[in-house]
Amino acid sequence: MTTSLTLGEIAQQFALSLVLTDPADAARPITGVATLEAAGLGQISFFTNPRYRQAFEQTRAAAVVVASADSVACPVPALVSREPYADFARIAALFEPRETVVPGIHASAVIDPTAEVDASASIGPHCTVGPRSRIGAGAQIGPGCVIGADCVVGERSVLVARVTLVLRVRLGRRVLIHPGAVLGADGFGLAPSGGRWIKVPQLGGVVIGDDCEIGANSCIDRGALGDTVLEEDVRVDNLVQIAHNCEIGAHSALAGCVGIAGSTKLGRHVMVAGASGIAGHLSIPDRTVIQAMSMVTHTIHEPGAYASGSPLMDNRSWKRNMARLRHLDELYKRVVQLEKQLAATTAIPTDDGSPDR
C-alpha cells in the first residue's frame, strides 16, 4: 500500500496530463481515493458519467481523473486520461490494503508427498494439496482450500479461502479465485437407459488462462473428454455456473448468476449480464453483449447487443399484459383469417377474368 505519493508523482507514474490552476497543487500529498461527493483534499476521484455532473462540478477532491473534453469544466486539478475509469482503477490500486504474505506451509496443512510446492509459495491453515499437484512461485493458498490430484496453481495466483480445485485443474499465472468457488467438479453428464440415468465419466479437466478472476461460489465443471477452457483475462462474477467443455474467449466477462450449459463457445470480449442463461452446444461471436436476464437458445452469428428479459413495470400493468398474452395465439389466428378475407374482397378481375390485386 502506497500513501506518500504527491499528485504530480501520480500523474507522472501513470503518464497522465495534469491540469493545474495553482502549480503548488502538484506537490499535494495524496492519501486515497473516493467518490466525487465524498472526496476531500487528499483524495482523487473520477468522472465519466454525465448523470454525476452536478457532483463533479461541486467536488472538493484533490484531483479528478477525466477525459480531455471534461478537463476545462473541472473545478479542481484534472488528471487527463483517454480511459478515465481504467486509470482511476490503476490509481486506486496504490491504496488497496494488502496483507504481507509470508512464504511457507502452515503446520495444519496436509501436502501429499508427490506434490510440489515452490519455496516462495504460501500455503495457509487447514489446506490440503493432493497427489502430483504443483504450486507455483509466489502463489498464495488461503485458509481451508482443497487442491485435488493433478492440479497446477500458476505463479502468483491467489486462492483467497475455501476454494476447491477438485481434479485436473490448471491455473495460469496471476489467477484470482474468491471464497467458495469450485473448479473441476464433475460435469453434468447423464445418458438415459431403460428409464434410468447412466452417469457419463468426466475424464477431462479445467484450464484457466493467465490473469483470470473467478468470483465467490462460482462453479466451473471439468470436461467430459476434453477440457473446459477459459482463455486469458476472463472475469467471472459470483454465483456463475460454467458447464463441462465450455470455452470462454479471452477478455470476456460474465456477471452474477449467469449459467452456461455444456459445450457452448463464447468468443473474445463477450459480455454477459446478470442472470442470463445460455443453452448448450451454441456459439457466440466476438464482442457480443448479452443483456441482463436474457435466455440464449440458438447460436448467434453476428456480433452486437442482444436482449430477451422483460423490463420491470407496475404490477397492475404486468398482470394485464400477462392476461392478454394468454390470448396471443387466438389473436394471431384471427389476424390471419382477417388478412385472407381482406385479400379476397380487394381482388380486382382482369380482362381475362383472373383476379388481380
Q: Which amino acid is at 197?
A: W
Q: Which residues contact 149 (CB under 8 A, 6 or more apart)?
A: 130, 131, 132, 133, 167, 168
CA distances from 40 to 33, 52, 61 (A): 9, 17, 5
Rounding to the nearest 10 degrees, give the CA dihedral for residues 268, 269, 273, 279: -10
E-strand ranges in 190-317 read 190-193, 196-199, 206-208, 213-214, 219-221, 228-230, 235-236, 241-242, 247-248, 253-254, 259-260, 265-266, 271-272, 277-278, 283-284, 289-290, 295-296, 305-306
**CA–CA separation, 40 and 21 (whole Å):** 17
Are the C-beta atoms of residues 297 and 315 closer than 8 Å to each other? Answer: no
**CA–CA separation, 47 and 87 (whole Å):** 11
Query: Catalytic annotation on 126?
Result: no
Q: Which of 244, 251, 298, 301 is catalytic?
A: 244
Give me the residue label for grid cell 462460482: 218
Q: Which amino acid is at 98?
A: R
Rg of the chain, C-alpha, whole Å: 28
Q: At 317, list the grid cell.
A: 400493468
CB burial string 200-219: b at 16+ within 10 A, e below: eebebbbbbbbbbbbbbebb
Are the C-beta atoms of residues 137 and 120 closer than 8 Å to each other? Answer: yes
Catalytic residues: 244
